[in-house]
Amino acid sequence: MPAFDQDRQAVIDRAFDARIALINSGTDLRSNCVTQDLLQYDNVFAAYGLSPFHLDEKILVEEFIRQNVDSAVAIGEVGLDFFHAKEERQWAEQEDAFRRFIQLSQELNLPLVIHSRDAEERVFKLVHRVDQAVYHCYGGSAELLNAITDCGHYFSVPTRVCHSPHHQKLVDGAPQEAVIVETDSPYQAARRGRNEPALVGDAVVAISRIWGMTFEDTASILVENTYKAFNLA
């Protein structure tokens, strides 16, 4: 992510000092290569993926994933984005690429990290039979979330939960065993300025209040869920 080009080492050091391990997701060939380079740090795991807006690289990214599958804990983020894409032609192109990576995840036995902005219903129809999936920054309906978690899939809560009544409602209604957290750095900060992995605790604080639990007990559940979601145990 270019937002961290000037101080990436310091960002990772702050995450390490906060006892935060992070899963860095690629969205194109360049960011997948950067993600792979980050594996030199003990607290970084890799997910390799393709944004719906870099579809011209789908063959290159698929080959990269195949060549580097042993260093990945997931494929993603991949998916659909109907917020920025408004034409049916674009939707069809996104879906074609998404199907390709769904198939790849099943072939390689890796979880999917899913981008589904304004396309949650369509995404669910495509992946509800997938063994393992994490809905990145899910912002859809509570009703669909019930169906998602019934499939055994996870929903990842960004730090914006601190200020978003909708995300707070989703957390309150979801099974605790289906919830994990993320920052979506450098976006969706609960504080002013750039978001970063060390600030994921802001989301944990918000969730602990919703669940009526201590920070420590909430963090323990979220860590266990993350281990299961990405086969890290």
Model pLDDT for residues 116-126, shown as the tens digit of each residue: 999 999 999 99
φ, ψ for residue 24 (rounded to 5)?
Answer: -95, 125
Q: pTM (2 decimals)?
A: 0.93
**For the ranges 99-103, 177-181, 188-192, 203-207, which has the lowest average pLDDT?**
188-192
Six-digit token string for 185: 């750095």
Helices 215-229 and 201-211, axial angle in degrees (round to 10): 110
The helix/strand count (H/E) of the chain reads as: 9, 7
- Are 155 and 145 in contact by the 8 Å Cβ rule? The answer is yes
Helix, strand, coil % over all residues of the chain, rounded to 5: 55, 15, 35
Mean pLDDT of 199-228: 98
Tell me, what amino acid is at 57?
E
Domains of the chain, first to last:
2-229 (3.20.20.140)
DSSP 160: G
Tokens of 112: 């999917």
Provide φ and ψ at 111, rounded to 5°: -65, 155
pLDDT band at 1 (very low <50, low <70, confident <90, very high): low
Q: What are the pLDDT digits (tens) for 134-162?
A: 999 999 999 999 999 999 999 999 999 99
Asked whether 50 and 99 are in contact (CB, 8 A), the reply is no
CA distance 129 to 148: 10
Please say if the pLDDT value at position 222 is more than 90: yes
Tens digits of per-residue pLDDT, 26-58? 999 999 999 999 999 999 999 999 999 999 999
Separation of alpha carbons 38 and 73, rounded Å: 14
